[in-house]
Amino acid sequence: MTENVWTRWPSREALGQAGTSRPRRMIAWVVRLAALGFLLSTAFHGSRVHGWVAVAGGAGVVLAAFLAWAYYRTTLQHRLWPSLACMLLLLGLAAAGQAGGFQGPAFVLWCGCAVSALERLPLAVALPTASVALSSYAAVNNDVWLTTAATTAGLALAGYVLRLDAEARGNAQRLLAQERAARVAEAESAALAERTRIAREIHDVLAHSLSAQLVHLEAARLLIERGADREQILERVVAARGMARDGLDETRQALSALRGEMTPLEDFLSQLVGTTAGAEVTITGERRQLPAEASQAVRRVAQEALTNVRKHAPGAKVQVRLDYSDRQVTLDVRDFGGSPGELTKAGGGYGLLGMRERAELLGGSLEAGRDEEGFAVTLKVPV
């Protein structure tokens, strides 16, 4: 439910000094000091001010300054009754000053009370308070009625304009705070997304490499327990070492990618295919720079697909086809023939599940399965 405009306080941002420029703060202090100086000069001006009258005048000025400070603090805290009490005491002090012959300070207090009430109090309270203050001023003012009317109208307008200006400043402060909070949340979200991406890259690289090493080392252990000959055991150890070396190379490539130091995708695929016997690569469409995430997805899927070929169908011929179209890039990896590998039953580690997850994160798709001639993996990523 919307708060009633008549009972709504100006916001704390509007009543406070946060967001106020230094020149404006200096001007405000100059005005305050000038008003205080005027009060003091008029309170002690003239030969009639001496003795206890002077003491009373000085005490009145000090009390007015204290009440003004208290009024500022209570309105800043949106405390209605203490604020009203301070305002009524200031009006009473002005009336006492007028009765005691201090007309100048009384005028300043009445005018200041009217302006500050319109600026800092809810309108339902500000309007009656300002009316009382301006009526008191008009009642004792000796100027012609037209001048008095213009002065009171100008003071009322000044108080309302100050209120609108403070509200505008307060709204700007709130919007700025919201914008800063949104930027912090955005930065945190970006950092989380980046950490997720790094974790995914590390997982993609290490999962299949370490799982393959584990298979070779487990096979070597079984061979040792069965008393197999040295050559068979050595073959497994050498294979595990090769997988470790490949995993290290892939980790370096992943770190380079995270730093934005990736080699062109076509060169990467050519190098990757060159390490697999019987594999060839075909690139169609207009070659162009892909976004980092899309490029990494193609690289990782190609790596995983060729690793699966070596693992599950060694000796098979492999065709890698990369097609650039207007709205997406398509990677197709197909193998033909080849005998079932010794690691076929060892599990795929991250495997197809990880490839599919990577594609879906980018709004793409991945299809993998057997066809009439072998096994096919097709990745489609929008760019």
Residue type, 203: H
pLDDT (mean) for 261-279:
78
Helix H or strand E segment including 265: helix 265-274
Determine the average pLDDT of the residues in 352-373.
81
**pLDDT of the residue at 345:** 45
Q: CA-CA distance, 35 to 38, in Å (whole number)?
A: 5
The chain-wide mean pLDDT, for the chain, equals 79
Which band of pLDDT confidence, cut at 50, 70 and 90, is reported for residue 379?
Answer: very high
Amino acid at 171: N
Q: Give CA–CA dist 286/323, Å, rounded.
A: 8
**Predicted local confidence at residue 188, as pLDDT:** 86
- With 80 as the cut, is the pLDDT of residue 317 above it? yes
Residue 14 has pLDDT above 80, yes or no: no
Whole-number pLDDT of residue 1: 37
Of residues 151 and 379, more confidence is placed in 379
Question: Could you give the domains of the chain?
Answer: 12-142 (no CATH), 263-383 (3.30.565.10)
| Lowest mean per-residue pLDDT among 212-226, 294-308, 334-348 | 334-348
Distance CA 130, CA 107 (A): 13
Q: Please report where in the chains the tokens 């060169």 appear, as a residue.
A: 267
Q: What's the number of CA atoms in the CB half-sphere (13 Å) around residue 330? A: 12
Buried b or exposed e, range 71-108, using 16+ CB within 10 angstroms = bbebbbeeeeeebbebbebbbebbeebbebebebbbbb
Order of strands, edge to edge, in the sheet holding 317-324? 279-284, 317-324, 328-336, 374-382, 365-370
Q: How many other C-beta atoms can be found within 10 angstroms of the C-beta atom of residue 357? A: 13
pLDDT at 374 over 80: no
Scan for tokens 């096919």, then name that residue: 376
Q: Which two tokens stand for residue 352?
A: 């197809």
Per residue in 272-287, pLDDT (tens digit) is 887 677 788 899 988 8
pTM: 0.50
pLDDT at 38: 59
pLDDT tens across 326-348, in order?
A: 889 999 998 886 655 444 444 44
Residue 123 pLDDT greater than 50, yes or no: yes
Query: Between 63 and 51, where is the model more confident?
Result: 63
Residue 158 pLDDT class (50, 70, 90 cuts):
confident
Check pLDDT > 60 for residue 50. no
Longest dimension (CA), the chain: 125
Lowest mean pLDDT segment, chosen from 37-51, 124-138, 176-190, 213-227: 37-51
The candidate with the shortest Cα–Cα distance to 293, out of 197, 186, 188, 195, is 197
Look up residue 18 and give its two tokens: 């946060």
pLDDT at position 83 = 92
- Residue 308: name the closest of 366, 265, 361 by CA: 366
Mean pLDDT of 26-55: 61
Residue 136 in contact with residue 155, Cβ under 8 Å? no
Average pLDDT over residues 293-306: 83
Residues 182, 188: Cα–Cα separation, whole Å: 10
- Give percent of the chain with pLDDT exceeding 90: 11
| Residue 267 pLDDT > 50 | yes
